[in-house]
Structure 1
Amino acid sequence: MGIRNIEFANGEYYHVFNRGVDKRIIFNTKAQQTFFFNRLWLLNTTDNRKYIANKRSRYKDQLVAAQGDQLVSIVAYCLLPNHYHLLLKQEVDNGISQFMQRLGTSYTMFFNQQNNRSGSLFQGKFKAKHLGGDFALPTLSAYVNLNNKHHNINPADALVKSSLGEYLDIEQGRYICNSNEINSIISEAGGADEYKIFIKHASLSFADNKNQTLSINDFEF
């Protein structure tokens, strides 16, 4: 196992991401994507009692919640067919490492059981970048929330789920992002309407930096 050359600090923000080994698809079905999504909030707890883990393992179709404080604040997420992006704020010591280890192990076991396979599902340890310097939260939230655009993945044709619906308050399902973090980002952008404009232009800047041939119209939503 490699040694991660990053230390996670409480109160700091990190861009966390990983993809399937050999770039394989990790979400073949909506049910698989939903299982991963549900684990994002179910496993985000300092409560690690064994009976809760055993119950989750035995009853995978049930949403077994736990008590305790949150390990991380989820600020933004994007789940794509072969990889995911998360924007996380660490809330307790070792919170991100615990959270990601639980998430990776839980989903790999579920996926392997469903697909009659064994071995690693993800490409090594999850990757993480500290949000520092002049790189603002609204900017990274734009990259995560609209990440499918950078991969030319149309939600109408493929499994895509991001937190953009939570930011725009149009999400039809469960909200899992920290509402205070979202409100702070929206406020920093100048309001909901201004945030919509901001993330389009921020995403276009990302595309330009990667020499992607995208236009502002490609970031309509």
Structure 2
Amino acid sequence: MSKRMIDFSEGSYYHIYNRGNSKQVIFYDSEDYEYFMWLLYISNNEDSFAVDRTFSKGYFYERGEQLVAIGAYCLMPNHFHILVTKIKEKGVSRFIHKIATAYAMYLNNKNKRTGSLFEGRYKARHIDNDTSLKYIYSYIHLNPVKLINPTWKEGGIRDIQKTNLFLHSYKYSSYFDYAEPNNYRNEGRILNPDFFPKYFTNKEQFKKEIFSWLKLKYD
């Protein structure tokens, strides 16, 4: 992933996203998803690390100072979304570079492939107001709905219970960590919610906000 000249400001929020080259799949199985999620944790670290020595420690590896704070994320078969705010100077670009490099090396080695994995530079959108920031939580976490209902944005959601259960069971996003904060999972250590506005003080508020974008009343 090449460098890009973006002035990431301290205290500002950014939606980071990228997809596979020519829209190709970048996550082939659960192992790939889980490895990338682990990279979200381990790469958020000023110190260098040896993958083969730290992977076995999972989410309990003691990191150095973090480069960014992560507010939300979602992995899809051919792309990913991450909501971040920087902590260290050049933290965002360093963080994304570490993830992209490590994951491309992993997947190229695993699948005996060559060539670029990602579609050029990562994209970064500055989120400059509360309305947009609240919306991006919904946008990121609702991405998986298209896997069970590709036309939901045009036709809406008829079965809200099915959609809710699917989002709860989708392991490759931070949805569960907000929807079920008392049911802790190790992947919850990826997130740094204290660096973001307290829009959701409980799971009911989170779900209400998420499902309001489906134009449905949450009960």
Give the TM-score, by structure 1 length.
0.78
Matched residue SS, 2:199: helix
The one-letter code matched in structure 2 to 1:34 is E
Q: Distance in 2 between matches of 1:38 and 1:181?
A: 20
Q: Which of these residues, 185, 194, 205, is aligned with residue 180 of structure 1?
A: 194
Q: Distance in 2 between matches of 1:47 and 1:194?
A: 37
Residue 216 of structure 1 deviates from its aligned partner by 3.2
Equivalent in the alignment of 2:64: 68
Residue 66 of structure 1 deviates from its aligned partner by 4.8
Residue 88 of structure 1 deviates from its aligned partner by 0.5
Superposed CA offset, 1:65-123 (max 9, x none): 35421101010000111111000011111000000000000000000000001121010
Asked if the contact 1:78–1:160 (Cα under 8 Å) also holds between the matched residues in 2, the reply is no
Matched residue SS, 1:62: helix
Structure 2 gaps of 5+ residues are: 151-162
The one-letter code matched in structure 2 to 1:198 is E
Q: Which of these residues, 201, 206, 209, is aligned with residue 212 of structure 2?
A: 201
Give the TM-score, by structure 2 length.
0.78
- Cα RMSD over matched residues? 2.9
Q: Which of these residues, 76, 89, 103, is aligned with residue 99 of structure 2?
A: 103
Aligned: 1:142 with 2:156:
no
Mean Cα deviation higher: 176-185 or 30-39 = 176-185
Q: How many residues align?
A: 198
Asked if the contact 2:25–2:78 (Cα under 8 Å) also holds between the matched residues in 1, the reply is yes
The one-letter code matched in structure 2 to 1:47 is D
Residue 45 of structure 1 deviates from its aligned partner by 0.8
Asked if the contact 1:42–1:63 (Cα under 8 Å) also holds between the matched residues in 2, the reply is no
Superposed CA offset, 1:150-201 (max 9, x none): 4636859x976111111122454421211324771213xxx43132112111
Equivalent in the alignment of 1:114: 110
Equivalent in the alignment of 1:210: none
Mean Cα deviation higher: 193-202 or 76-85 = 193-202
Residue 39 of structure 1 deviates from its aligned partner by 0.6
Mean Cα deviation higher: 31-40 or 162-171 = 162-171
Equivalent in the alignment of 2:9: 9
Share of identical aligned residues, percent? Answer: 32
Equivalent in the alignment of 1:30: 30
Asked if the contact 1:146–1:162 (Cα under 8 Å) also holds between the matched residues in 2, the reply is no
Q: Distance in 2 between matches of 1:132 and 1:143?
A: 16
Asked if the contact 2:14–2:125 (Cα under 8 Å) also holds between the matched residues in 1, the reply is yes
